[in-house]
Structure 1
Amino acid sequence: MTDPEAPEDAPGVEPDDEKIVAATPEELAKRGRTTPRSIEREMKESYLTYALSVIHSRALPDVRDGLKPSQRRILVAMNDLNLSPRAKYRKCAKVAGDTSGNYHPHGESVIYPTLVRMAQDFSLRYPLVDGQGNFGSIDGDPPAAMRYTEARMAGITMEILADLDKETVDLEPNYDETRMQPTVLPSRFPNLLCNGSDGIAVGMATSLPPHNLREIGRGLIALLEDPDLETDELLKLVPGPDFPTGGTIMGRSGIVQAYTTGRGLIRVRAKYDIEENKNRSQIVFSEIPYQTKKGGNDTGIIAKIVQVVKDGRIVGIADVTDYSNRDGMRLVVKLKKGEDPQVVLNQLWKFTPLQSTYSIINLAIDRRQPRTLPLRDLMSAWLVHRRDVIRRRTMYLLRKAEERKHIVDGLRIAVDNIDRVIQIIRASANRDEAKTALSAEFGLSPRQSQAIVDMRLGSLTGLEREKLEEEHAKLVAEIADYRDILDRAERVTAIIKEDLLEIIEKYGDERRTEISLEEVDGSIDIADLITEDLAVVTLSRENYIKRVPLDTFRAQARGGRGIKGADLKDSDVQRSVIVTSTHDYLLFFSNMGQVFWQKGYQIPEAGRNSKGRSITNVLQLREGEEINTILRVPEFDDDRFIVFATKSGIVKKTKLEAYSRPKKGGIRAILVDEDDEVVSVRLAKPGDTVLLSMSGGRAIRFDESSVRSMGRTSRGVKGVKLKEGDSVVGMVVAEPDAFLLTATENGFGKRTPLVDYPIKGRGGQGVIDIKSTARNGAVIQAKFCREDDDLMFITTSGMIVRTHVADVSSIGRNTQGVRLVNLKGDDKLVSVEVVSGSDLERFSSDGEEASSEDGVESPPPQATSDDASEEADLEDGDDVDDGYVDGGDDGDDIDSVLDDEGEEE
């Protein structure tokens, strides 16, 4: 601004400048130098212009490709450099420089951080950049300078850029109008839904969570097939966010609210296990909440834990050690002697970032306006974009095909009249005269005439003429196909669906984030928010429990090898498997006679290959206590009983209703002798019969009425007279029209009608059920089943085989049995579970067998001479009927000194 006191001969000051400076605003307005405006109006309009610029050009992603302008321009610059997934890495400084020089005029210092984030696998669920070098870490370590790092596009980025050169999107001039840039990318991959986005604009912010590609793909396909699909149905296909760092989402209410309204709050906890180290416990964290730093600055998890311990807010922690490496995260919080891990965990959730709140704000640019969109609208917007891209691509391809067909038609005319064409060309003085003469002679267009003049003599061979005809026929078919796509919306829908299936197959992976139905305050979500479905609950010998959808396992023929049911350690084996509904109650009975109560959906869900969660994170078990029976109870009926069997042959019957109100730490279910343990627990109703199976191959069947009903804290009565070295391995509540499935540790067994087992008094020795030989091994379990049921066999190596009951031969009681499972090496059969046929029908949507993409069906085993000998009958003399003690005497009844209302443990 000119100084009014400057001398007239001061440099840059004209003589009239003093008059201008000294003039009033009105005089300046008259001279056309300024326009008087209200300061309020000027501030308002200028700020709105700035705000709109930030919203559209910087902070918010486009709902169609999920990219902000800076991200889009980086990918376009990398595409210009041909940095495909198979190309050599290029310096990030080159990428940032080209982006800044060609598309994004904001300096390399703001471009490089955006490039870095697109390469971090802990920031994006599906990284868009393949980086080489130091791109930072989850500890908060900064990336190396861009002159040291290299990058190229990831494979999934090519799906976002697919068909960019086919006029599928609008182009606009860059900042200096020297080249054109796309306003949006074709985005064959649903980037916004799978990778999410974060940004702060003026007066608004966005926080879109990432999701699993397989789940989003299934949801999009369902929306394609039914455009009126409700959000409730989408929730069954897309259960919730899937963060790149894993963790556990606590409760579904926030998810439901966010997916319905576009806004919601969810709480994410670190994933942990509790380990016992000598006489102390330690909490091991393997995954942390999204966008939380593990180490680094004062806001990191480790620093925060150290601070709260110093402040005295948590007193039970002895040490914090980070054992994380390239194989995964392992953050160990060691506790002081005698400290309760659950108490320390609750304190860590409260005072540290191990539990964080993620705010879902589905705000994106939709039709040039910032809009907050529910999940269904986000998915619909992407589908609309893909329809437009496919339509524009088809129009481009149609135009190119028609242009080529036009040329080919001209060449065909020339080939058919080649002698006359040559004569005209030879008689012409120049090329222009030849083109004019050809057009006049054959009615050709200028382009056709040009193509004929440019035609080489080699095109006149018979082979070339044949190729010309083939090309013409191909072009005619392509043009008809393109026009059909443009005329029929269902063709476009089919193309989108095919693209989604291809991308899911190529890039889909397992969910990383677990979703717990337990809210952080301990309350449980209402059952209406939970999808009722069948699931397989497995428990390993080292006490890892998990819930897997039943349709993960395909039904196979008898003798199949199965598929891997869990990725267990060498020292661990699966020892229990139960099929349940997510709405059923599960009663967990321990070897010490305690019972714990859980809902099916409260069991942590995990992938088929996951080992699951430690059961100590689910149930409050005492030292040395193990769960050996999981009982499925759809509802608590007053007329049913729970029947117990112990290893030493003691049985007990108690009303089911007595176990409907357990405490958090469990309650006593049966009084067990010091040298005894519970081996089986079953439900029974009046009139049922009970069958006990022994490891030596015998079985005994008696009426439930022979065991009088007792209280929870009673011991029970003698159920069977055991031989030396024998023990009870299983118990079945028999039904007359069912079969008894007996399985041995070497994978052999048989199915026998229950009517073949006579009903006699309890306390006897029983009859032969199956011969326990060196080939068969000891009996490991006995189950009742029906023709329409399925069987699930589980082995020590973690293999799970699912087969139909009908595939197992129905043979007599006095037989050796047939092969049930084809075991490898030293593998042993450890458990059998029956999948009810009524449940299969109830939860099957189409009546077909459930399948798994990893499952390989095995052909039925061929009959051999060994199989024939396996079913050979034993001598009748082996049936030990005289061992019975009819009507076992009540003198064997040893009730507890505690009455039914006694104190619970």
Structure 2
Amino acid sequence: MSKLNNKLDKFLDEKVEKVLLEDIMSSRFARYSKYIIQDRALPDARDGLKPVQRRILYAMGQMGLNYNKSYKKSARIAGEVMGKYHPHGDSSIYEAMVRLSQDFKMRIPLVDMHGNNGSIDGDSAAAMRYTEARLSKEAEYLLKDIEKRTVSFVPNFDDEEQEPTVLPARFPNLLVNGAMGISAGYATKIPPHNLGEVIDATVALIDNPDITNDEILKYIKGPDFPTGGIVQGKAGIKQALTTGSGKIIIRSKTNIEEISKSQDRIVVTQIPYEVNKADLVRQIDTLRINNNIEDILEIRDETDQEGLRIAIDLKKGADSQLMLNYLLKTSDLQVSYNYNMVAILKHRPVLSGVLDLLKVYVEHQKEVVTNRSNFELEKATKRNHIVDGLIKMTSVVSEVIEEIRKSKNKSDSKENIQKHFGFTEIQAEAIVMLQLYRLSTTDIQALMDEKANLDNEIEALERILSNERLLLKTIKTELLEVQKQLQSPRKTELEAEIENIKIDEKDLISDEQTMIGVTKDGYIKRASLRSYTASKEVGLKENDAFIYEGELNTLDTLILFTNMGQYIYLPVFKIDEQKWRDLGVFINNIVPIQKGEMIIRVLAVSNFSQDMKILLTTKLGQMKQINLADLEVSRYNKTLRVMKLNKDDQLVSVDFNQQENIIAISKEGYVLRFDTEELPIYGLTAGGVKSMALNEKDEVAVAFYAKETDDFYFLTSRGHVIKDTVLELPKYARNRRGIILIERIKTSPHFIVSASRLSKTQVKEDVKVRLVSTKDTLLTTVSELKYVANKFGKKMIDDGYYMEIYPSNEPEEFIKPTPPKVVKKEEVTQAKVIEETIQTKQNQKLRLSRLDLFDEE
């Protein structure tokens, strides 16, 4: 057993290597990263191809699948690539081959595929057993002269074949077809460009090696996508082509057709690069279905063999330009494109501008043409030597034939003619293999002509190899030849500036009337007038009640004031439409609010430019006025401040429609009347000023604007409604306690909870009155609040929470007020709180109240 253990220990010591896990992960991941960066995901700057693409094109070239030859099954090609050069799955090879054939992905397709090779709708290609393929004419220019040792070859994965490390590439394919890829730590996104423009820029670089980026941009104006479209952003193009990174906007090409005099159709004929057409149509139709945009009648994909066409029919009277702008802003009819021009330069990933990429390409072409010229020179020199021997042989042909006849075999013949006539081994080989008919006079002249041509060719090749200027001229000539054969007109239009589309959502909303309800617990509902009329019951949470209910236009805006000194800007069209019997949407699902935050008043606004003042009052007596126009905002996804509050203070009252007086009423029944002019107008972030002096435990319940000719009603905590008249209230300066309005009793006292002014016009119209308790709502009229001989007024509801007298439909009449019984101005400034009481001879203080004349309830 010990021997076995010893052997086991020895085996473990010899075979098991102890290495830290982080060292293993580091080295293995570094090796993997190097592989996927250099040999998988990123293109080579010289030929613009990834390894799998290069292997596909090379294998097809070796199989003889030229553009003018017959097609071969794609499965056969994928098998050839996989078996000889690319040891990965056949599906990845086939997918790469399909992409090389798609004219909506490649500016110049490099594979000519016969059969279903996918579509711009995202449909996948047919299986490789069904499709056939061959090289395109353009791909042959990438492979041209590869057999002339123009590029270096390396062994394949099993060392049985040789594969090229790069293709000769007669045109700058990286810029022409672009590239996309993601590797470890690097990604590339290069858009396609127009071949004619790229070759012009390359020729300009050859003519002037010191050319600047600005001069290059005169030739390469911007990307040229196979799907066309409109590219905006000259600055982004310039930045990208200079530095390798930049942003542009790609917009669909559209036009507007007239269906009838009042109805239009938007037609899309080109869409942005790499946008899926079927998804785009579905995206726009979803906007229509979800009522995000109400003026779209129908969307149809009418693409056929004549080209792409998406038809968007609009409703009668719709603004076609507005609809188009909205679709550009909210759908993939317009997308942004971010350049990230990373390619492999000298075995390293580098972010490069166009000028650097073109310089690398020109250097590559120098190497290619040099290698080709060396190959052709060697071949021409060898042939020239043979031709020299043949010509020499013609002068001694009889003696050569005689020597061959004397010889025993071929090798003996070669040795004999070398010994007797001075031919080299290569010349001797050519002579013994010569057919006798070639000794005719005609063929001897052909040898003389071939000799002259070979001399000229050798001289030209030697000049190219010894003169860089001629080398560059050769590259330039070949580029211009490719340009002549392959160039095509630009498909993408360019616009210098990016158009900033601003859409007012109100422009997209149909103008219609709708019913709106807001409850005290914060539920909001919007329903059609039809649903409101048909509903026999109102959908409300238990013990909830409306504090606002009214007919509004979808273009109106609700301003919801909360007790936390905030307001919510809520356009009516933003409220989801429901049935009137539904519960509605809780405000927190529309705009986030704080815990304990409640809606205290609702204002419906049609026009924020009107001159309206709003009165804000807190429970601790702070008060200010603001302008309605200040409440308008463009972003409204959260609550906004309307008044700065001190600690433990809350906003309790909001009133609109400024009048000459302000009436403030405290919870314990004190009322103060003062001139509106005394209260300043502040911004939304400011706090207020002191409006009313309060007892230690008292707080302001409500404040409102009023004219001297107005009456007002106030609601008590016990559900009583009491009427009073503004003119009977003495006018004091601000920051006074005022006079007592309601008799206080020790058991179940009446506390003031709400109040509202009543004009003579409202009385005439007998307007509606909304009385809200903690559990329900009572809708009544002014006439039902008729005065009773009770100092605590008329009981209307169980307990008071809120009251509102609806405004009149007609403009209010101007009624000249009777002379008010007010203290003089001098006295006002010196008024003291003691004026609200009288002192008896026994030094007892009695509170003044005009309600002492009436009996208890």
Name the counterpart of 2:196.
214
Q: SS of the counterpart of 2:184?
A: coil
Which one-letter code corresponds to 1:336 in the other structure?
A: K
Q: 2:325, 2:501 within 8 Å by CA — same for their partners in 1?
A: no
Q: Distance in 2 between matches of 1:186 and 1:92?
A: 24
Q: Distance in 2 between matches of 1:95 and 1:430?
A: 47
Q: 1:64, 1:385 within 8 Å by CA — same for their partners in 2?
A: yes
The 1:521–1:20 alpha-carbon spacing in structure 2 relative to 1, beyond 3 Å, is: farther
Find out whether 1:114 has 2:87 as its counterpart.
no
Name the counterpart of 1:419.
398
Which one-letter code corresponds to 2:131 in the other structure?
A: T
Q: SS of the counterpart of 2:398?
A: helix
Q: 1:494 aligns with which of 466, 473, 487?
A: 473
Q: SS of the counterpart of 2:218?
A: helix
Find out whether 1:145 has 2:127 as its counterpart.
yes
Q: 1:57, 1:68 within 8 Å by CA — same for their partners in 2?
A: yes
Which one-letter code corresponds to 2:139 in the other structure?
A: T
The 1:143–1:17 alpha-carbon spacing in structure 2 relative to 1, beyond 3 Å, is: farther
Q: 2:177 aligns with which of 179, 195, 201?
A: 195
Q: Distance in 1 between matches of 2:24 and 2:393?
A: 70
Q: 1:511 aligns with which of 487, 490, 497?
A: 490
TM-score by length of 1: 0.54
Q: SS of the counterpart of 2:103?
A: coil
Name the counterpart of 1:595.
none
Which one-letter code corresponds to 1:289 in the other structure?
A: P
The 1:273–1:457 alpha-carbon spacing in structure 2 relative to 1, beyond 3 Å, is: same
* Bigger relative CO (Cα 8 Å, ≥ 6 apart): 1
After TM superposition, the structure 1 = structure 2 runs for residues 557-576 of structure 1, keeping only pairs within 5 Å, are none
Q: 2:246, 2:338 within 8 Å by CA — same for their partners in 1?
A: yes
The 1:522–1:302 alpha-carbon spacing in structure 2 relative to 1, beyond 3 Å, is: closer
Q: SS of the counterpart of 2:313?
A: strand
State the shift of 1:460 in Å.
2.1
Find out whether 1:281 has 2:258 as its counterpart.
no
State the shift of 1:522 in Å.
6.2
State the shift of 1:49 in Å.
0.4
Q: Distance in 2 between matches of 1:64 and 1:161?
A: 13
State the shift of 1:231 in Å.
0.9
Q: Distance in 1 between matches of 2:362 and 2:379?
A: 26
Q: 2:231, 2:494 within 8 Å by CA — same for their partners in 1?
A: yes
Find out whether 1:87 has 2:64 as its counterpart.
no
Find out whether 1:105 has 2:87 as its counterpart.
yes
Q: 1:29, 1:36 within 8 Å by CA — same for their partners in 2?
A: no
Q: Distance in 1 between matches of 2:290 and 2:499?
A: 24
Q: Distance in 1 between matches of 2:375 and 2:446?
A: 24
Q: 2:329, 2:501 within 8 Å by CA — same for their partners in 1?
A: no
Name the counterpart of 2:158.
176
Q: Distance in 2 between matches of 1:251 and 1:381?
A: 27
Q: Distance in 2 between matches of 1:79 and 1:181?
A: 12
Q: Larger radius of gyration, structure 1 or 2?
A: 2
Q: 1:163, 1:393 within 8 Å by CA — same for their partners in 2?
A: yes
Find out whether 1:321 has 2:300 as its counterpart.
yes
After TM superposition, the structure 1 = structure 2 runs for residues 533-548 of structure 1, keeping only pairs within 5 Å, are none
After TM superposition, the structure 1 = structure 2 runs for residues 496-645 of structure 1, keeping only pairs within 5 Å, are 496-521=475-500
Q: 1:91, 1:149 within 8 Å by CA — same for their partners in 2?
A: yes
Q: Which runs of 5+ in 2 are unaligned?
A: 503-857
Q: 1:204 aligns with which of 177, 181, 186?
A: 186
State the shift of 1:266 in Å.
1.1
Q: Distance in 1 between matches of 2:496 and 2:459?
A: 53
Q: SS of the counterpart of 1:236?
A: coil
After TM superposition, the structure 1 = structure 2 runs for residues 381-780 of structure 1, keeping only pairs within 5 Å, are 381-521=360-500
Q: Deviations over 1:324-364 (max 9, x none)?
A: 11101111122223222232223212221111111211111
Q: 1:379 aligns with which of 358, 367, 384?
A: 358
Is 422-431 or 410-419 further displaced after alignment? 422-431
Name the counterpart of 1:264.
246
Find out whether 1:348 has 2:330 as its counterpart.
no
Q: 2:171, 2:199 within 8 Å by CA — same for their partners in 1?
A: no
Name the counterpart of 2:343.
364
Q: Distance in 2 between matches of 1:277 and 1:456?
A: 81
For the aligned residues, what is the CA RMSD?
Answer: 1.9
Which one-letter code corresponds to 2:68 in the other structure?
A: R
Name the counterpart of 2:734.
none
Name the counterpart of 2:219.
237
Q: Deviations over 1:197-225 (max 9, x none)?
A: 11111111111110011111211111111
State the shift of 1:397 in Å.
0.3
Q: 2:266, 2:320 within 8 Å by CA — same for their partners in 1?
A: yes
Q: Distance in 1 between matches of 2:460 and 2:69?
A: 34
Name the counterpart of 1:292.
275
The 1:483–1:54 alpha-carbon spacing in structure 2 relative to 1, beyond 3 Å, is: same
Q: 1:280, 1:335 within 8 Å by CA — same for their partners in 2?
A: yes
Q: Distance in 2 between matches of 1:249 and 1:87?
A: 38
State the shift of 1:518 in Å.
2.5
State the shift of 1:19 in Å.
6.8
Q: Distance in 1 between matches of 2:408 and 2:455?
A: 36
State the identity as a percent. Answer: 40
Q: SS of the counterpart of 2:267?
A: strand
Which one-letter code corresponds to 2:266 in the other structure?
A: I
Which one-letter code corresponds to 1:236 in the other structure?
A: K
Q: SS of the counterpart of 2:166?
A: coil
Q: Deviations over 1:726-782 (max 9, x none)?
A: xxxxxxxxxxxxxxxxxxxxxxxxxxxxxxxxxxxxxxxxxxxxxxxxxxxxxxxxx
Q: 2:112, 2:136 within 8 Å by CA — same for their partners in 1?
A: yes
Q: Distance in 1 between matches of 2:294 and 2:217?
A: 42
Which one-letter code corresponds to 2:117 in the other structure?
A: F
Q: Distance in 1 between matches of 2:210 and 2:501?
A: 36
Q: 1:156, 1:189 within 8 Å by CA — same for their partners in 2?
A: no
Q: Distance in 1 between matches of 2:263 and 2:405?
A: 101
Q: SS of the counterpart of 1:272?
A: strand
Which one-letter code corresponds to 1:390 in the other structure?
A: V
Q: SS of the counterpart of 1:371?
A: strand
Is 418-427 or 246-255 further displaced after alignment? 418-427
Find out whether 1:78 has 2:60 as its counterpart.
yes
Is 176-185 or 395-404 further displaced after alignment? 176-185
Q: SS of the counterpart of 1:267?
A: strand
The 1:428–1:18 alpha-carbon spacing in structure 2 relative to 1, beyond 3 Å, is: same
Q: 1:262, 1:361 within 8 Å by CA — same for their partners in 2?
A: yes
Q: Distance in 1 between matches of 2:412 and 2:298?
A: 93
Find out whether 1:61 has 2:61 as its counterpart.
no
Q: 1:131, 1:149 within 8 Å by CA — same for their partners in 2?
A: yes
Q: SS of the counterpart of 2:275?
A: coil
State the shift of 1:314 in Å.
2.6
State the shift of 1:469 in Å.
1.3
Q: SS of the counterpart of 1:186?
A: coil
Which one-letter code corresponds to 1:313 in the other structure?
A: N
Q: SS of the counterpart of 2:217?
A: helix
Q: Which runs of 5+ in 1 are unaligned?
A: 1-7, 9-14, 524-905
Q: 1:196, 1:210 within 8 Å by CA — same for their partners in 2?
A: yes
The 1:17–1:294 alpha-carbon spacing in structure 2 relative to 1, beyond 3 Å, is: farther
Name the counterpart of 1:629.
none
Q: SS of the counterpart of 1:118?
A: helix
State the shift of 1:435 in Å.
1.8
State the shift of 1:29 in Å.
6.0
Q: Distance in 2 between matches of 1:323 and 1:19?
A: 81
